[in-house]
Amino acid sequence: MRQQYAWRSKLLAGALAFFALMIVSQMFRIQMSVEAAEFRVQAKSYSSETKTFYPDRGEIYDRNGSLLAGNQIVFEVGVNLNMHKDINVIASTVSTVLGLDYNQLLYDITNPPVPNLSYLVLADFVDEPKAKRLMEIRQKMDEQAPDGVAGALNALEFKSHPMRSYPEESLGSNILGFVNREGRGYFGVEEKYNDILAGNPVRVTIPTDPNQAINIPRIPDGSTLILTIDRDLQAAAEQTLDDALALYGAQNGIIMIIDPRNGETLAVAASKRMDLNKFWDYGVVYENASDFNPAISKPYEPGSVIKILTMAAALDSQTAVRSTRYLDTGAILVGGVEIRNWDNNAWGDQDMTGCLQHSLNVCMAWLSTQMGPETFYGYMNNFGLGHLTAVDMAGEAAGRLKVPGDADWYPVDLGTNAFGQGVAVTPIQLLTATSAVANHGRMVTPHVLYAMVRDGRQYNAPAQYAGTPIRAETADTLSDMLAYSLELESSNALVPGYRVAGKTGTAQIPVDGYYDETQTNASFIGWGPVDDPRFMIYVWLERPSASIWGSQTAAPVFSEMAKQTVVIMDIPPDRIRLSLASK
């Protein structure tokens, strides 16, 4: 009996050994076969996958930490066409919550654009409240459905992603620009710094095993930008401009404020602005790209504000000094063409301050002819007229300064260019050029970037300078002359408690080949306090109807803007400031 059991045991042991040998042999065969390589590839694909990660776009803040551009979460709403679904309920619910056309939704779901399509996007960039409302309805239908039966909206799917948002809506829109739904920046800072803000997409292989989620790489967001813009000053500039347009009946306008010491742009207000959250309205608000930020992209003939640069060139080249006398007869011949003053009157014996105070075209034309073309245009070129300033906002235009040798330059241009006729500049160009006068001869490069923040570290943008077109002595003398001329005439540009320097401009607008005396560009550029300038303000009103003169329109706007600027920037009145400095 025992031998019988022993025999059976041996037989069973042999069979088990045989099967074990077969299994080992099969494993060895698979390991060494071509199939093994395929299995290893499949195993690898199951454990990881390759994805492209797009970083969140960097935010934009003003100099005091106010958020100007950020990101919000929005949703893509789609339908899984492979799942059981009640098409009518889906179309009805989505159309009601999202305000879409029911019939169009029904058609899109029943007639996919591609055969065998498994997923169809019904709407994208849906805000969070609406998306959550749809989610709640889907969940409620799932709860009400019988056991084992899916809810009528079970095929709805939601995918979240970021979208650019602008909490201040239209505030500073001309500076910021906007981002479209493809994530590309247009105009202003958004376009100029698009690559820095957007960051770098990264394509990596990541594990699909949830237990290895810790191994998913961290993708750094785009850089955050801190601008030189002061949010409160920007709001004040926009409101002041809007009030001025209504008061003086101007068609368009600009108020731009910079720090003449370092080129920091503090505010840029333009008459046409748009809610950046509704970037699709761009074509409704603007007719041309140059209208988005005319402060940098719309050249025009500025008129008498150019006389600051003409006088600076004359003083610096020693063609004249402050006390030089000029007998104004009311007319002068330049290139065989008669040039007259703005009022067609003769102002008699004047010194150089008087020429500025009374804004005498004839005196300026005399100075430019005394300098000669080489000296005069050499200075204008050094001041940057006809050149880009390199301001860090997209869309800057260079303007135009005709010079001898150009096909359309004539000898009379030497006279007319001296008082701002026949030369085209942008407000940013004029601010840059005139900064040399306010900043002791040193011309700044305007910029809006204060600092960049990346990976928790802040990198400040250094001030840059565009040259020294005039000597410090020339700049300081001219600043005092301009301040004194405003005081002599009790100008509308004066600011109580602060000594300011500046100049008006009234430029007739060319219409059909001639200058229309009834349509003007009225402007004023000024800075203060004169002894230690902290702000430089440029005001431009296009075609004011209440008065064509810059002294009666742009000058008082400058005064009003300067009054608010000294408060917002916390600049004490001259008496207090100088008293504290002397202690």
The pTM of the full predicted model, rounded to 2 decimals, is: 0.84
Strand ranges across the sheet with 252-258 = 265-270, 252-258, 535-542, 514-528, 501-511
> Using CA of residue 546, residue 552, residue 517, residue 300, what is the dihedral sign?
negative
What are the tokens at 193?
């710094």
Can you give the residue ranges of every domain in the chain? 60-227, 231-275+291-582
DSSP state of 151: -
Chain CA centroid to CA 118, Å: 41
> Using CA of residue 554, residue 560, residue 562, residue 564, what is the dihedral sign?
negative
> CATH top-level class for 231-275+291-582?
alpha beta
Name the helix (H) or strand (E) containing 37: helix 34-47
Looking at the DSSP bridge assignments, the partners of residue 67 are 61
- 205-232 burial, b at 16+ Cβ within 10 Å, e below that, comes to eeeeeeeeeeeeeeeebbbbbbbbbbbb
What is the Cα Rg of the chain in Å?
Answer: 36
Sequential pLDDT tens for the chain (583 residues): 555 556 666 666 676 777 767 776 766 666 665 555 665 655 555 566 666 667 889 999 999 999 999 998 888 888 888 876 778 888 888 888 888 888 888 888 888 888 878 888 888 888 888 989 988 888 888 777 777 667 777 888 888 888 899 999 999 999 999 999 888 999 999 999 999 998 877 766 666 655 555 555 667 778 999 999 999 999 999 999 999 999 999 999 999 999 999 999 999 999 999 999 999 999 999 999 999 999 999 999 999 999 999 999 999 999 999 999 999 999 999 999 999 998 899 999 999 999 999 999 999 999 999 999 999 999 999 999 999 999 999 999 999 999 999 999 999 999 999 999 999 999 999 999 999 999 999 999 999 999 999 888 999 999 899 999 999 999 999 999 999 999 988 889 999 999 999 999 998 888 777 788 788 999 999 999 999 999 999 999 999 999 999 999 999 999 999 999 999 999 999 898 888 777 6
Q: Are strands 443-444 and 465-467 parallel, antiparallel or unpaired?
A: antiparallel
> Using CA of residue 39, residue 41, residue 44, residue 45, what is the dihedral sign?
negative
CATH topology of domain 60-227: Penicillin-binding protein 2a (Domain 2) (3.90.1310)
Q: Which residues touch 104 (CB under 8 Å, ≥6 apart)?
A: none
Q: Are 418 and 307 in contact (CB under 8 A)?
A: yes
User: What is the C-alpha to C-alpha distance for residues 163 and 179, in angstroms, rounded to an integer?
Assistant: 9
Considering only CA atoms, which of 330, 350, 348 is closest in space to residue 340? 330
Q: Which residues touch 74 (CB under 8 Å, ≥6 apart)?
A: 124, 125, 126, 127, 128, 131, 160, 161, 162, 163
